[in-house]
Amino acid sequence: MHKDLKEVLLTEEQIRGRVCELGKAITKDYAGKTILMCCILKGAVTFYADLARTIRGPVLFDFMSCSSYGASSTSSGQVHIRKDLDNDVRNKDVLIVEDIIDTGVTLSMLLPLLKERGARSVKLATLLSKPARRQVEVPVDYNGFEIPDAFVVGYGLDYAGQYRNLPYIGVLREDVYEK
C-alpha cells in the first residue's frame, strides 16, 4: 500500500468485478442503440477505459473537462467547463461517466446542460458515490460502490494531481492534506 494511505478501500479485483457487472447492465439497457460515452476528465479516465471495454455494442467516445476541486479536498461550489464535448448531443443517447459523485454539484450542472442541448437521453454511470456529502440530489443510473465520507484517491482519483495511477482505491491519510 502507498505510504500516504490510511487503508485500501477497494482492491483491483473488487473494482474489476464491479465494472464488469455495470458493463453487462449497460449492454442490456442500450441494446440496439449507439452510446455517446462522455468521460468527465480527468478522474474518470481509468474507469471509462475499463468500463468501455466491458460494453458490447456501438460506443462513441467523447471527453469533457470540468473542475471544482483544484488543489483542494473540498469542492469550491463553482464548476467551470475547461474543455467541452466535440459531439453535438442532439438526438444522441448520452452516458456520462464519472469517477465519483460527492456533493453532486458537478453533475447538477452537467445533466441539465446536456438535456438542454437536445440529447435524446442522458444517463449517469459513476464508479463511486459518497451519499453522506450530497448537497444536491443527482439521479445515478449505474453506481459502482457507495463509500463512506472519506477522501479517496487512486484508479483515476487525485489529491492535488497525485495518486491517479494507483491501481486500487485508498483513503488518504488526513495529515497529507491538512499540513
Q: Which residues are catalytic?
A: 102
Site string for ligand HPA, 157-176 (x = CB under 6 A): xx------------------
- The grid cell for 68 is 471544482
Share in percent of the chain as helix, strand, coil (round to 5): 25, 35, 40
Number of H helices, E strands in the chain: 4, 9
Shortest Cβ 43–ligand HPA spacing (Å): 6
Site string for Mg ion, 62-91 (x = CB under 5 A): -------x----------------------
**Residues 126-145 contacting ligand HPA, CB under 6 A:** none
Burial class (CB in 10 A: 0-12, 13-18, 19+), 149: exposed
- The grid cell for 83 is 474543455
Minimal CB distance residue for ligand HPA: 102
Shortest Cβ 129–ligand HPA spacing (Å): 10
Rule CB under 6 A: say whether 177 interacts with ligand HPA: no
* Near ligand HPA by CB under 6 A: residue from 15, 55, 89, 100: 100
Residue 1: Cβ within 10 Å count: 10
Q: What is the sign, positive or negative, of the torsion defined by CA atoms of 130, 8, 145, 40?
A: positive
Q: Which does 152 bind (CB under 5 to 8 A by kind): ligand HPA, ligand PRP, Mg ion, none?
A: ligand HPA
Compute CA distances 149 → 130, 131, 132, whole Å. Answer: 6, 8, 6
Shortest Cβ 68–Mg ion spacing (Å): 8
**Contact residues for ligand HPA, defined by CB under 6 A:** 69, 100, 102, 151-153, 157-158
